[in-house]
Amino acid sequence: MNLATKDIVLRPATEGDLSIMHEWRNSDSYRSLFANRRNLVSFDEFRVEYKKEKDGQRHVQFIVVLKRIGRPIGLTYSYGASMNDGFVFFGTYIDDQFQSKGYGAKASILMIGHLFDTYPIQKVCVDVFSYNLPSISGCENLGFTKEGEFVRQRFYYGKYWNVVRMALFRDNLDRLLTLQKRITNQ
């Protein structure tokens, strides 16, 4: 499968990406919208954290590169894979200055397509914090459905928030495949 559109390309993450990934990991938007960990970490702490994730729960990870400037603008990865049970979780993060331009949606479409094309899974899951309405809407636009909600699961800015679990099933890929064809044939 081609992991590129006219705007972006997904390429495997490498050690050379650690600096930019550390910057993203410490950004306010990453910590508020994407990660369970909200603490700032030094580069050395990040290197240890990244190695643990890569050697543990992390399944596949790609860097999102914006072709016109030739540099990374985000990442997408899968984690918590269970090939026996046929599911995997995924997430996509785009740097603040490149958000709301469609790059995250395109990266997610490419990643999800890759996961279904490459692995014997029946569904791709995502957990979204309930205050992250753009991500919930974006997932719905890709064909994800809500499976459930973990009530008061995340404490953030003095308040408890729910975590919404969403899934896209292999037998419900029509919307995703249409979008995939559209973005890869531009």
DSSP letter at 4 equals B
How high does pLDDT run on average in the chain? Answer: 90
Residue 37 pLDDT more than 80? no
Mean pLDDT score, 83-91:
95
pLDDT of residue 82: 94
**Quick one: which of 163, 80, 170 has its CA closest to 117?**
170
CATH classification of 8-180, choosing from 2.60.40.1180, 3.30.1540.10, 3.40.630.30, 1.10.10.10?
3.40.630.30
Average pLDDT over residues 88-93: 94
Strands 71-82 and 8-12: unpaired
In this predicted model, what pLDDT tens digit does every residue of 93-129 receive, in sequence order?
Answer: 999 999 889 999 999 999 999 999 999 999 999 999 9
135-161 pLDDT, tens per residue? 999 999 999 999 999 999 988 888 999
pLDDT value at residue 66: 97
Tell me if 161 sits within 8 A of 133, measured CB to CB.
no
Share of the chain above pLDDT 90, in %: 66
Residue by residue, DSSP assigns 77-119 as: EEEEEETTTTEEEEEEEE-GGGTTSSHHHHHHHHHHHHHHHHS
pTM: 0.90
- For residue 60, pLDDT beyond 70: yes
